[in-house]
Amino acid sequence: MTTATPVPYHPRRFIGLYLQLGKLLFLHGATVQRVIDSVHALKNYLGGDEIQVLIEYDGLMITDIQGQHFHTRVERRGAFVTFNIAVLIAVSQLIRRLEIDRPSPDQIRQRLREIEGLRSPLRGWAQHLLVGLVALAFGIVNGADDMACAAILPAAVLLSLLKKVLLGRGQNLYLSMLLAGLAAVLVSGLLASLLGTATGLVAIIAVLLPQVPGFPLINAGLDILRNHNTVAWGRLAYAGMMIIILTLAASVPLLILFNSLQVETAPQLGLWLVRLADALFAGVAAMGLGLLFNVPGRFIPLLGLGGILARGIRTELVALGGLDIAVAAFIGAAAVSVLMSLVARRGHFPSAVFALICVLPMIPGFLAIDGLNHLFLLTQLAPAAVPPEMATHTLQTLLKTAFTIAALIFGVIFPIFLIEGRSPRV
């Protein structure tokens, strides 16, 4: 980028640039604090007296104050938030190099347009196949056997394809996810039933695990810790709705096919070779998720290492240390979060996002589907005929699932918040 001579400050002209930057970050998954800090960093470079940034879940408002005069502009979000990590990293590099490259406002505007055009190199069938492979890796770390794997891959590819087709035709996001999820899990459940797998429940849940809204949950937690509650609750509502939809999608094959899917096995982690394979496939899943979210290629090995580290710690603590899975998951998530926070100082990437990608393979998919399945089995029995041990197992499994997911979220959020503190998020 060529060096430009300083230009006079023009509030009406620059406020559009602030909005362009803020909207670009917000639409691609940045936290509220990252948006605010980036806009203020740009304002400090361009000059002027003061700006105020107000971000709501459905729009941004920026006020540029110059002496006794001020200019305010509001822009609605206009689209659902996506998660394009390459955009966040490119914006961070642009902001950090402002004082070095000294670009003009027009050059900054052009560079932001170029960043907005960053898209994943994986398109069409390559992207759908990658979703299938990520789901397959999720299935393996949750104990899927060969026949279950054969059911997972085509069903997950189908889900990705149907979701894209429905969204491309203007359908509502939630309805598209529900219809695509229902179709995919029915295919997975039917294939699992026909193939005679002993891990049919894993075949169902693995198809849905890549769709879990982890980023909104993590961003919401970080926003709450920094008192950006309006946006945080909006993100929580979105994540909650998606979780409900995924639960509904998983429930249908359980209701229809429960007689043929009652046999299941949990992951067996006694042998060191099995534990090693479990950690390696967690790394594969993390790298696949990174590619899906357009993480630059140079960071993909780091995600694989983080996935192996997080899952390996959890597995060893459970298998050898005898710790509860929720406690072990928290320790694994916290360890990888510390690692990502330290490495992020040199790589200038969003540490919470990278840590989340690494811990997503620790989602207790088998526990979730096992608890849900037993819940539906209980509904088939008369109250007097419910075995106490089945009721206890169902309650314990569902609670353990909830606590483990909460442990993953807190294990990502709190270490990063404590390490990074109030340093600018750019």
Q: How far apart are CA 356 and CA 214, in angstroms?
A: 7
**What angle separates helix 173-195 from helix 146-168, to the nearest 10 degrees?**
160
> How large a percentage of the chain has pLDDT more than 90?
52
> How large a percentage of the chain has pLDDT more than 70?
92
Q: How far apart are CA 164 and CA 159, in angstroms?
A: 9
Strand partners, 65: 50, 70
User: With a threshold of 0.75, does the pTM exceed it?
Assistant: yes
Find the mean pLDDT for residues 273-280: 84
Q: What is the pLDDT of residues 346-397, one digit of tens each?
A: 878 889 999 999 999 999 888 888 888 888 888 777 777 778 888 888 889 9
Contact 222, 417 (CB under 8 A): yes
Count the neighbouring beta carbons within 10 Å of the beta carbon of residue 8: 6
Contact 305, 283 (CB under 8 A): yes
Find the mean pLDDT for residues 223-251: 91
More confident residue, 331 or 377: 331
Residue 18's contacts (CB-CB under 8 Å, 6 or more residues apart) are 39, 42, 43, 51, 53, 62, 64
| Residue from 156, 150, 208, 259 nearest 369 by CA | 208
- Measure CA 225 to chain center: 18
Contact 310, 358 (CB under 8 A): yes
Six token digits for residue 267: 């992951």
Q: What pLDDT was estimated at residue 257?
A: 62
- What average pLDDT is seen over the chain? 87
Q: What is the pLDDT of residues 179-198, one digit of tens each?
A: 999 999 999 988 988 888 88
